Amino acid sequence: MSLNSNIPEGPLHEKWDRHKFKLKLVNPANKRKYTVLVVGSGLAGASASASLAELGYNVKTFCMQDSPRRAHSIAAQGGINAAKNYQNDGDSVQRLFYDTIKGGDFRAREANVYRLAQISSNIIDQCVAQGVPFAREYGGLLANRSFGGAQVSRTFYARGQTGQQLLLGAYGALSRQIAAKKVTMFTRRDMLELVLVDGKAKGIITRNLITGEIEKHVGDAVVLATGGYGNVFFLSTNAMACNVSAAMRAYKKGAFFANPCYTQIHPTCIPVHGDYQSKLTLMSESLRNDGRVWVPKNPGDKRKPNEIPDQDRFYFLEEKYPSFGNLVPRDVASRNAKEQCDAGRGVGETGYAVYLDFKEAIARDGEDVIKRKYGNLFAMYEKITADNPYKTPMMIYPASHYAMGGLWVDYNLMSNVPGLFVLGEANFSDHGANRLGASALMQGLADGYFIIPYTIGGYLAGEGSSTVSVTDSAFGEAAAQVEQTMDTLLSIKGKRTCDDIHRELGKILWDYCGMARNDEGLEKAKHLVNDLRKEFWTNVTVPGSKSELNQSLEKAGRVAEFLDFADLLLEDASSRKESCGSHLNEAYQTEENEARRDDENFTYVAAWGYAGKEKKAQLNKEPLVFENVTLSQRSYK
């Protein structure tokens, strides 16, 4: 199948304006005739819901948590990028665009990324108008910090809780539309199926998590803003309920899944402690502004960190990458930490950790200044580890964090299924093979506040309002399918819990499809996942029934989809015979162990199509065309 990305004609900087002008408009009086279903209330879903409702559309919004304010976006710590150039340090739309394309190792679409950089400034304006309490300088103007992969200071932040404050801003806007009765909010709902009528997205099936009731919702378009799939690794920095189910249901209904093998492993997380561990905690990348990463020079040096003198320390990022130092992009930082630990220089109980040291910064700026910048992160670190990072260096290790891959979308953020739009982390659009820090919040809000309000109109104006109703047979069939899956899960009554199987899946993927991959390991993992899937469907145990609140049943449904998604992840990783960004196949490295791309053969988006149960997914390629940047080997030296 050929994929039309619908990238507008014209010079890069005019594309979005031209496109907005060309898009059909829905007459203001007619907007109320359309209903849009938005699944997700994170930054992408909440901002989209509010903005669409403000325009006059009827919106129904769904989330799994008891309140839209609890979407996983709330946990974002470090900040949000924008090309404001408030610091007068040489930033511009062009530079943000270039940094993002380069950071993504030249595997993202130029036009999308340029638009993102253009919109970035409006986001900050919007959020400030909402009363988001960003950090300020003494004079009252907005403060900035630096993030990895950039040499300018363009990250806006609200202490270590930037995601929380941005989400509460969007939640406020959403709440206002709920009060105005333009948005109907459905909390504690799990989307279990996408409904197509005549090949177009016209509805969803949800389960009310309190009563167990299966509900049918009809709309003129469906917007998925359901977040990323980082939890496929079981242990990740994502919240416990983050899942790939909604995206997988869409995939199984024909939507393409793009670049699933681009999974971001974040360099600065609190290392794994024990087998019981349920999640990993991120220590924001902003810490790398002031913290220095090091390991003991001599493998097996068991001295306490403060007893190791400078000449016995290896500041591996600073030494290898003098110009970016500790602020290299995440994929580079993570891989280097792994390399040091594999070489026996790792620290901590397991030997899989490196130090992040603030001693010098505290001596230079004083404890007060450091506390002001990172106080809540230091407190969180101490709570979890019982170590005081003001006194002794933090220990960190990479962990699964973010999904660059996601459902394939065109320039309008519409998938190949007409009427199905995908926003935020759930789509694949802007980050290529590696996302730069503070860019996910920017993308989620760009999608929701400033892109979908225009592009959805273009689709709806062409469609006319729908005559479909929930009595349509497609809804009945979809609901029956959902019931049947739940019955099957409940009837297995085996001997292993969902978490137990999920944990095993995570370990397989972490070992064979994590920070470094090779063909042999990927093949092995495919077999292991296959066996594990069989084990799941014959030996899982799910207590309770489907007609009541049943958290085990919710989990079972998620693990079932993660298992299927794992196939896709492995298939994509093994078909991409190059290394790029987060995807490192050991066979393709430069002499300095950096990712070596194969631009001749792999400058494309891999968009996988569902071919049926137990059949191999089909690969569709969207060629990436670079007209404005020259592809080069990334260098952060």
Contacting range for other proteins; rule: CB under 8 A; set: 127-135, 257-265, 300-308, 355-363? 127-135
Catalytic residue among 145, 154, 330, 335: 330
The sheet carrying 183-186 orders its strands as: 183-186, 58-62, 35-39, 221-224, 420-422
Could you tell which of other proteins, ligand FAD, none binds residue 122, using a CB distance below 5 to 8 A set by kind?
other proteins
Binding partner selected for residue 444 from ligand FAD, other proteins, none, CB under the kind-specific 5 to 8 Å limit: ligand FAD
Other residues' Cβ atoms within 10 Å of the Cβ of residue 164: 19
- Identify which of 338, 355, 446, 334 has the alpha carbon closest to the alpha carbon of residue 401: 334
Does residue number 137 form part of the binding site for other proteins (CB under 8 A)? yes
The three-state (H, E, C) secondary structure of 242-280, written as one string: CCCHHHHHHHHCCCCEECCCCEEEEEEECCCCCCCCCCC
Under 8 Å between Cβ of 119 and 81: no
The C-alpha atoms of residue 330 and residue 584 are separated, in whole angstroms, by: 13
Residue type, 566: A
Which CB, 240 or 611, lies closer to other proteins? 240
66 binds, among ligand FAD, other proteins, none (CB under 5 to 8 A by kind): other proteins
Return d(Cα 140, Cα 60) in angstroms, integer.
39
**CB 168, min distance to ligand FAD, A:** 13
Residue 104 contacts ligand FAD per CB under 6 A: no
Q: Which is nearer to other proteins, 128 or 474 (CB)?
A: 128
- How far apart CA 297 and CA 305 sit, in angstroms, is 12
Closest approach of ligand FAD to the CB of residue 79, in Å: 5
Task: Pick the piece of the chain touching other proteins (CB under 8 A) from 3-11, 129-137, 567-575, 585-593.
Answer: 129-137
Q: CA 560, 564, 568: angle at the middle one, nearest 5?
A: 155
Sites for other proteins among residues 66-105 (CB under 8 A): 66-70, 72, 74-75, 84, 86
User: Cβ atoms within 10 A of the Cβ of 435, count?
Assistant: 29
**Using an 8 Å Cβ cutoff, are 540 and 492 in contact?**
yes
- Rounded Cα distance between 42 and 222, Å, is 16
Interface residue with other proteins among 199, 299, 344, 543 (CB under 8 A) is 543
For helices 15-22 and 110-130, the axis angle rounded to 10 degrees is 80
Q: Of residues 246-285, which lie at the interface with ligand FAD (CB under 6 A)?
A: 246, 282, 284
Binding to ligand FAD in span 208-247, by CB under 6 A: 225-228, 237-238, 242-243, 245-246
Which does residue 446 touch among ligand FAD, other proteins, none (CB within 5 to 8 A, set by kind)?
none
What is the DSSP secondary structure assignment for residue 451, as one 8-state letter? I
> What is the gyration radius of the CA atoms in the chain, in angstroms?
24
Under the binding rule (CB under 6 A), the answer on residue 479 touching ligand FAD is no
**Taking CB under 8 A as the criterion, which residues in 237-276 touch other proteins?**
239-241, 273-274, 276
Residue 541 contact partner, candidates ligand FAD, other proteins, none, CB within 5 to 8 A by sort of partner: other proteins
Known active-site residue 372: no
Instruction: Answer yes or no: are the C-beta atoms of 598 and 578 closer than 8 Å.
Output: yes
Query: Would you say 595 and 583 are in contact if contact means Cβ atoms under 8 Å apart?
Result: yes
Residue from 234, 428, 450, 608 that binds other proteins (CB under 8 A)? 450
Size of the site for ligand FAD (CB under 6 A): 47
In sign, the C-alpha dihedral spanning 394, 507, 581, 110 is: negative
> Looking at beta carbons only, is 19 or 330 nearer to ligand FAD?
330
Residue 444 lies near ligand FAD (rule: CB under 6 A): yes
Give the nearest distance from C-beta 385 to other proteins in angstroms: 8
User: Smaller CB distance to ligand FAD: residue 34 or 147?
Assistant: 147
Say whether residue 299 binds other proteins (CB under 8 A).
no
Residues of span 147-166 touching ligand FAD by CB under 6 A: 162-163
Pick from 117, 562, 211: which is nearest to 109 by CA? 117
Chain-centroid distance, C-alpha 522:
23
Contact status: 184 vs other proteins (CB under 8 A) = no
The secondary structure of 332-395 as a DSSP string is: HHHHHHHHHHHTT---TTTS--EEEE-HHHHHHH-HHHHHHHHHHHHHHHHHHHS--TTTS-EE
* Residue 221, H or E segment: strand 221-224
Which x/- pattern, by CB under 8 A, does the window 197-226 give for other proteins?
-------------x----------------
Q: Which residue has the tokens 């170590």?
A: 387
Pattern 33-52, binding to ligand FAD, x per CB under 6 A? ------xxxxxxx-------
Q: Residue 126 binds which one of other proteins, ligand FAD, none, with CB within 5 to 8 A depending on kind?
A: other proteins
Q: How far is CA 198 from CA 1, 122, 195, 417, in A?
A: 18, 38, 10, 11
**Distance of closest approach, residue 389 Cβ to ligand FAD, in angstroms:** 17
In contact, 253 and 388? CB cutoff 8 Å: no
How near is the Cβ of 136 to ligand FAD at its closest, in Å? 18
Please give the residues from 343 up to 402 whose contact with other proteins meets the rule CB under 8 A.
349, 380, 383-384, 386
- Please list the active-site residues: 330
Give the interface with ligand FAD as residue ranges (CB under 6 A): 39-45, 62-65, 71-73, 75-80, 162-163, 189-191, 225-228, 237-238, 242-243, 245-246, 282, 284, 401-402, 424-426, 438-441, 444
